[in-house]
Amino acid sequence: MLKTLLIKDYALIESITVEFETGLNIITGETGAGKSILLGALNLLLGERASVDNIRAGASKAVVEGIFNVEKNKSIKKLCAENEIELEDELIIRREISSKGSGRCFLNDTPVSLTVLKDAGDVLVDLHGQHEHQSLLREELHLDFLDEFCDLENELTVYRKYYSDMLRLKKEISSLRQRETELKRNREIFDYQLKEIEGVAPVPNEDKELSDELNVSENAEQLLEISEEIYGMLYDSDGSVLDILGKAKTELDTLVSIDSSLTPIEEEMKSAMTIIKDIAYFLRDYKNKIDVDPQRLSSLRTRLGALQSLKKKFNTSLDGLFVLKEKLEKELAISENFDDVLKDLELKYKEARITAGKQASKLSERRRKESGKVEKEVVEALKDLGIENAKFEVKFSDKKLSEKNDGVIIGTEELTATSQGVDTVAFYITTNSGVPVKPLSKVASGGEVSRIMLSLKSILAKSDKLPLLVFDEIDTGISGRIAQKVGGALRNLSEFHQIIAITHLPQIAGMSDCHFLVEKAASNGTVISKIRKMDDDEHVREVAKLLSGEEVTQSSLNSALELIDSKNLFNK
């Protein structure tokens, strides 16, 4: 959701900060007060084209900044990760337009390109009023909407696994065919290198173990001399540490016989003598095992030298030699049995295409079955919003392969496939009797298209992932009962999304959770636009103004209160 929008020196706006709330945020104001400027600034933040003409007169640059809560937005988290942008629960988007014609874009203070800014806008906001940022007008997303409505996430996960296996096998076959000549040409080299490694026959961790043993063998005489000396100092000589501790123990026994409080010290002394004995016995056994064997020393050096030579030749570690050996064995087996290996891969690829095709077919069946429900519900929703003669269709198409062995197999057909299956989906609509349906992306702009979007969003509310929906011109050409239904639809939709809607109609304004008023003011002889959040009393008066005009009467206030109370009739 959009928490804060800051606009500075943009068009008629000198400096404003708007704190939006969850639910339904309504913006009203006189014509020309600056409501469209507000949307223009938001569009700028979402990556739309900028113009120096939009910089406020006398200012050196315009700045628009939005703070979004993105805690649950997986798409924006993925985008930030791909662009190495640090992100926690908030994303700050900032755009600056200089009077010199240059501009800068930032995500969380990280400079980004306009393309990245636009990509961020596409997964944060759906703006209805102009076609930019209207996800439902992007035909490539229609299949996503349908799948979310059909709750196909589990089925898609299964299909994508099969599809991924199919692509992997296809890539292996392509790679193998490209390497055929190379494999056959290098067969003798593979065989020679493999025999070199097998001739030395390295053992895991052998070089480390041999190095440790060689180090001991090369220093055997020194180890023997020092261990004998320490053994004598501790145990086997006149005046050894153990002798001294024995004498001290005898004296301590005398002290204990006089003062029993020293008993714990006596026990510590016994422990010390035991530890010294253990160390001495260990060193005795250690020195007895030391073997000065010139023949073993020579053997160690020879074996270690062979391993080091092999590692150096292949420029790898001992572990790397095992990896290389396995690779050489595999390459040699392929080069010697190329036709059989290729045939086996092609068989597995065909089986993978059939398996993926079966799952793609299941997806298509579910989509086509559920699409009828979408069509019916959208038409009903449009009727509620005053579009009586609408017809809505979900049109499917698939594409037969132009080349063989390049897609999934369903029955006797080979079809082009993507990670979403074999279907291409497009939404078609007409709002007039006798007029054939046309692609949703071709419908006219203005209030009607906004109501179409509202209907679709209402049907797909729970599945639609975009957290913020912005509606402008949604009240064009409607009034009375239809206006109230539009307001109710917006209110219901705000249960699942944050909504910002600009309106002139009291029936829609009365449904708000938070009401903002845009108005003009004078500042240093210049007209500027301001926006402020209204309290409950101001909200009632503004709805009353929309009902009766500039003069607010008690009757209009009562009607406004009644209209505002009616929002409780809608599920929110």
- Strand locations in 484-563 (E): 498-502, 514-523, 526-533
Instruction: Kindly give the pairing relationship between strand 468-471 and strand 125-128.
Output: parallel
Continuous H helices in 387-535? 447-459, 480-493, 506-509
Instruction: Please return the burial class of 426, using the count of CB atoms within 10 Å of its CB with bins 0-12, 13-18 and 19+.
Output: middle
Continuous H helices in 54-134? 74-82, 114-122
Query: CB under 8 Å to 460, separation ≥6 — which residues?
Result: 145, 148, 149
Query: CB under 8 Å to 308, separation ≥6 — which residues?
Result: 207
Torsion angles phi and psi, residue 161, rounded to 5: -65, -45
What is the spatial distance between Cα 322 and Cα 205, in angstroms, rounded to a whole number?
A: 11
Q: What is the residue type of 395?
A: K
Q: What is the residue type of 377?
A: E
Q: Measured between alpha carbons, how far apart are the two ends of the chain, in Å?
A: 18
What is the spatial distance between Cα 284 and Cα 469, in angstroms, rounded to a whole number?
A: 83
Predicted pLDDT of residue 134: 63
Predicted pLDDT of residue 131: 45
Predicted pLDDT of residue 186: 76
Predicted pLDDT of residue 43: 87
Query: CB under 8 Å to 78, separation ≥6 — which residues?
Result: none
Q: Name residues of the chain where pLDDT drops below 50.
A: 131-133
Q: Which own/partner pairs from 200-208 qualify as long-range (CB within 8 Å, at least 24 positions apart)?
A: 200/306, 200/307, 200/310, 202/307, 202/310, 202/318, 202/321, 202/322, 204/318, 204/319, 204/322, 205/318, 206/307, 206/318, 207/304, 207/307, 207/308, 207/311, 207/318
What is the spatial distance between Cα 146 and Cα 371, in angstroms, rounded to a whole number?
A: 7
User: Which is nearest to 9 in space by CA: 46, 41, 43?
Assistant: 41
DSSP 549: -
- 192 to each of 2, 35, 162, how far by Cα in Å? 66, 79, 39
Q: Looking at the chain, how many residues does it have?
A: 572
Instruction: Kindly give the pairing relationship between strand 24-29 and strand 514-523.
Output: parallel
Predicted pLDDT of residue 401: 63
Instruction: Please return the burial class of 35, using the count of CB atoms within 10 Å of its CB with bins 0-12, 13-18 and 19+.
Output: buried
Predicted pLDDT of residue 135: 67
521: phi > 0 → left, psi -120 to 50 → alpha, else beta; which? beta
Query: CB under 8 Å to 128, separation ≥6 — which residues?
Result: 134, 449, 450, 453, 454, 469, 470, 471, 472, 474
